[in-house]
Amino acid sequence: MMAASSAALAMRFPPAVLLIAILLASSATADVADTKGERALYLASANFKLVIPRDDWLITREQTRADGKSVYYSLSSAKRDMTLWFFLDQTPVCQNAAACLELSLRNKIYDGAQDMKFAEQPPFKIAHFMLPGTEGTRSQQHLIAAAYVDGCWIDVHLIQPARESGSADLLAFMKLVTVK
């Protein structure tokens, strides 16, 4: 069955077109590298990786831009009751951590942010805040960490249901996040 479908593809598209499509698809790939203790997320064309503890993180979404210069990951951890969004974009739109964080915070979804606090954890500039729940939803604590490394905007977003401890869980986890 596989041979028949491959033959049908080859008949519809010249081999050169198929080869170019395969090469373009492979150059636009993001990747994940797991060890026993760590999970590294990266874009093949970048010179670094975002590394988090391996734990029970499950990738729920991966999206790579067609030009291969941007990747988005969404991960969830039941153990930590936390969601992590990671966005990496090779762009000059912001060229330092403060400017990248400012751009991240311009998202209209954060207009209702409460108790906004700022911190620094090189190479990241960090904002943590609370977003109140709407009808039928709980309030959530958020942490956005932005950096600019080797021509890439790095955006890490941690989300967790609101707790009495505030954003202590998010800040503690962010200390375990590294750029290597």
Q: Tell me, what CATH number does 109's domain have?
A: 3.40.1000.10
Q: Is residue 164 part of a domain?
A: yes
- Cα separations in angstroms, 87 against 30, 41, 74, 90, 120: 11, 10, 9, 10, 19
Measured distance CA(23)–CA(71) in Å, rounded: 18
The pLDDT assigned to 44 comes to 84
Q: Find the domain containing 167 and state its range.
A: 30-179
Q: Is residue 13 part of a domain?
A: no
Q: Is residue 3 part of a domain?
A: no
The residue that leads in pLDDT, 122 or 26, is: 122
Q: Look up the pTM and report it.
A: 0.79
Give the closest residue to 83 by CA, choosing from 91, 69, 72.
Answer: 72
Q: Is residue 20 part of a domain?
A: no
Q: Is residue 2 part of a domain?
A: no
* Dihedral over alpha carbons 153, 130, 55, 79 (to 10 degrees): -160
The pLDDT assigned to 68 comes to 86
Residue 16, H or E segment: helix 15-27
- What is the domain count for the chain? 1
Residue 160 confidence (pLDDT) above 60:
yes
Could you tell me where the DSSP H helices lie in 28-145?
97-105
Q: Is residue 112 part of a domain?
A: yes
Give every CB contact of residue 146 below 8 A, 6+ residues apart in sequence: 94, 97, 100, 101, 103, 104, 124, 125, 126, 153, 154, 155, 156
The pLDDT assigned to 20 comes to 36
> Over the chain, what is the mean pLDDT?
84
Average pLDDT over residues 123-129: 97
Q: Is residue 76 part of a domain?
A: yes
Q: Is residue 120 part of a domain?
A: yes
